[in-house]
Chain A
């Protein structure tokens, strides 16, 4: 084919994308590191080099550790539970079911609903006096819970909303993965006397589905780690910081308190964590 190198025209075609990604992704990555080493208040527009001072200050702030703990907790619950729910949905809503398209659409629609809209709906569903959830609790004789005003429950409310919104997307990925498993494996197993159910799932479906599962794991972790909007809409990071995630913390530091240096230091730490997690996951993938 056209194996001869054609640097000039190739880079002309790449130019718009590379220029934009250069200015708005690659340059910011470097700039982030630079800003994190400076004390900079946006209101005064004054920059002073302070070395690692921002990092030291953050690591001594209890609210930073709280945000880190919140984020880890949120990711550690949302990702595995969300994956289990969507894998269950994919198995339940398989091709053999009549009218399956309708079911899948219903499950998928929350994904195209905006986080703000979904958040407002869940604020209402979890309302103390007027919400569906408390009406249901009341009906079965349990006492009402003020979900979004309780530092014990608020994060759970956000997690439930996120899983509801995200499940359809992961289900589509799992469905594609399930369709990629050749039917003959199941036929062979049934000749050997295995019954369709838990046995075939464990010994055929689960191992052969692993590449998909791994991909969903990576994607969901990245999604969960950057969460901000659901907290902004449902709880504004509260009560008492119980739903303040790292991105929320960055947002507060930068745009509420104008402390760009510290906000950049947290961002830089987050870039490090993201790269580390991605690397670990891919290393884990190779070993399996």
Chain B
């Protein structure tokens, strides 16, 4: 390498490091502060951990009803995720492998649902849930989210990449479409299922809007709603606040780290089709 291009490479590296640090700073500072002495953290900012106050975590965990909120969030996220995987697998299979009347307009109508945000539809959905007496129950948090066009597209695309020969052999042996979907295609679709699982679970775990609007009692609060209440109560007790932020955030980040490859691939392919 010439000196000039070497210099350029060093500059590139330094710039990348600098920018990355800026992006990482808020989360690093969160970790550091979650362990600081609460009195010192309330007095001023520091990026240096002057102590290791693990008690912050225990205190934050006990302060409001976080254990119950974890269970609520888990029920909501797992319920929605499992349901969306099933409805999307079935619909995606129909779009990828069957010819039927109205296929094209139906596909376009589903596509259109992606631009209409749930927040805009919240009033009629709320009314439906009131009529069903589902407000402030798990049903309200789970059922309205059980089908989503994103998952349907994901599986439609995925099934189209699988060669048809495998299914053909099964049909000759007299298998039904139902059997072919669950016994042959689903095991092959594991990567796509993982992608949808990660996306949906993280989105539901992180969601505030739905629990904010559809629940009304303390015992139905999810972690995100609980965190907003916690923040109001503890205002500038930043060491405890950051400890709470850490354990509310850990499930999403952990899942992302475990399935990073599938997650990134899901964004990249969903983005280009």
From A74-82, A127-135, A143-151, the one touching the partner chain is: A127-135
Task: Decide if A158 is an interface residue (CB 8 Å cutoff).
Answer: no
From A90-98, A183-191, A198-206, the one touching the partner chain is: A90-98
Question: Would you list which residues of chain A between 111 and 167 have a CB under 8 Å from chain B?
Answer: 112-118, 120-125, 127, 129-132, 135, 164, 167
Q: Which residues of A contact B121 (CB under 8 A)?
A: 24-25, 28-29, 32, 267
A108–B261 CA distance with the chains assembled, in angstroms: 12
B236 engages A127 (CB within 8 Å): yes
- Closest B residue by C-beta to A278: B115
How many residues of chain B are within 8 Å of chain A by beta carbon? 92
A92 engages B94 (CB within 8 Å): no
- Closest A residue by C-beta to B18: A92
- Closest B residue by C-beta to A111: B256
A97–B10 CA distance with the chains assembled, in angstroms: 10
B120 engages A247 (CB within 8 Å): yes
Task: Decide if A254 is an interface residue (CB 8 Å cutoff).
Answer: yes
Task: Decide if B193 is an interface residue (CB 8 Å cutoff).
Answer: no
A217–B21 CA distance with the chains assembled, in angstroms: 26
Task: Decide if A263 is an interface residue (CB 8 Å cutoff).
Answer: yes
A20 engages B242 (CB within 8 Å): no
Task: Decide if B64 is an interface residue (CB 8 Å cutoff).
Answer: no
B256 engages A112 (CB within 8 Å): yes
Say which residue of A28, A110, A115, A116 sits within 8 Å of B125 (CB atoms).
A28
Question: Would you list which residues of chain B between 98 and 143 have a CB under 8 Å from chain A?
Answer: 98-101, 103, 106, 109-110, 113, 115-117, 119-128, 143
A25 engages B45 (CB within 8 Å): no
Q: Which residues of B contact A113 (CB under 8 A)?
A: 27, 206, 249, 252-253
A267 engages B123 (CB within 8 Å): yes
Task: Decide if A64 is an interface residue (CB 8 Å cutoff).
Answer: no
A123 engages B205 (CB within 8 Å): no
B86 engages A121 (CB within 8 Å): no
A125–B208 CA distance with the chains assembled, in angstroms: 21
Task: Decide if A2 is an interface residue (CB 8 Å cutoff).
Answer: yes
Question: Would you list which residues of chain B between 214 and 273 have a CB under 8 Å from chain A?
Answer: 224, 227-228, 231, 236, 238, 241-242, 245, 248-249, 252-253, 255-257, 260, 264, 267-269, 271-272
Q: Which residues of A contact B255 (CB under 8 A)?
A: 112
Question: Would you list which residues of chain B between 177 and 216 have a CB under 8 Å from chain A?
Answer: 177, 181, 202, 205-209, 212-213
Say which residue of A6, A14, A121, A129 sits within 8 Å of B27 (CB atoms).
A121
Residue from A26, A180, A212 with most neighbouring chain B CB atoms (10 Å): A26
With A5-B99, A250-B122 as given contacts, are A177 and B43 in contact (CB-CB < 8 Å)? Answer: no
B91 engages A226 (CB within 8 Å): no
Q: Which residues of A contact B78 (CB under 8 A)?
A: none
A172–B248 CA distance with the chains assembled, in angstroms: 25
A19–B106 CA distance with the chains assembled, in angstroms: 13
A130 engages B236 (CB within 8 Å): yes
How many A-B pairs have beta carbons closer than 8 Å: the answer is: 274
- Closest B residue by C-beta to A175: B268
A118–B120 CA distance with the chains assembled, in angstroms: 23
Task: Decide if A16 is an interface residue (CB 8 Å cutoff).
Answer: yes
- Closest B residue by C-beta to A216: B271
Task: Decide if A208 is an interface residue (CB 8 Å cutoff).
Answer: no
Q: Which residues of B contact A130 (CB under 8 A)?
A: 41-45, 236, 238
- Closest B residue by C-beta to A219: B271
Task: Decide if B48 is an interface residue (CB 8 Å cutoff).
Answer: no
With A5-B100, A24-B144, A271-B116 as given contacts, are A115 and B126 in contact (CB-CB < 8 Å)? Answer: no
A76–B264 CA distance with the chains assembled, in angstroms: 27
Task: Decide if A4 is an interface residue (CB 8 Å cutoff).
Answer: yes
Q: Which residues of A contact B149 (CB under 8 A)?
A: 21
Task: Decide if B93 is an interface residue (CB 8 Å cutoff).
Answer: yes
Residues 5-38 of chain A: 1 if any B CB is under 8 Å from the residue's CB, otherwise 0? 1110111011011111101111111011001000
Chain B nearest CB, measured from A129 CB (Å): 7
- Closest B residue by C-beta to A197: B8
Residue from B17, B19, B87, B120 with most neighbouring chain A CB atoms (10 Å): B120
A9 engages B98 (CB within 8 Å): yes
Chain A nearest CB, measured from B163 CB (Å): 11
Task: Decide if A260 is an interface residue (CB 8 Å cutoff).
Answer: yes
Q: Which residues of B contact A254 (CB under 8 A)?
A: 122-123, 126
Task: Decide if A106 is an interface residue (CB 8 Å cutoff).
Answer: yes
A219–B150 CA distance with the chains assembled, in angstroms: 13
Additional A-B contact list (19), CB under 8 Å, known A113-B253, A114-B224, A116-B228 = A5-B99, A7-B101, A10-B94, A10-B98, A16-B87, A18-B106, A20-B87, A93-B20, A97-B12, A105-B260, A118-B26, A121-B29, A130-B42, A176-B271, A226-B120, A264-B124, A270-B120, A271-B116, A278-B115
A-to-B contact residues, CB < 8 Å: 1-7, 9-11, 13-14, 16-21, 23-29, 31-32, 35, 89, 92-93, 97-98, 100, 102-103, 105-110, 112-118, 120-125, 127, 129-132, 135, 164, 167-169, 172-173, 175-177, 180, 211-212, 215-216, 219, 222, 225-226, 228-229, 232-233, 247, 250-251, 254-255, 260, 263-264, 267, 270-271, 274-275, 278
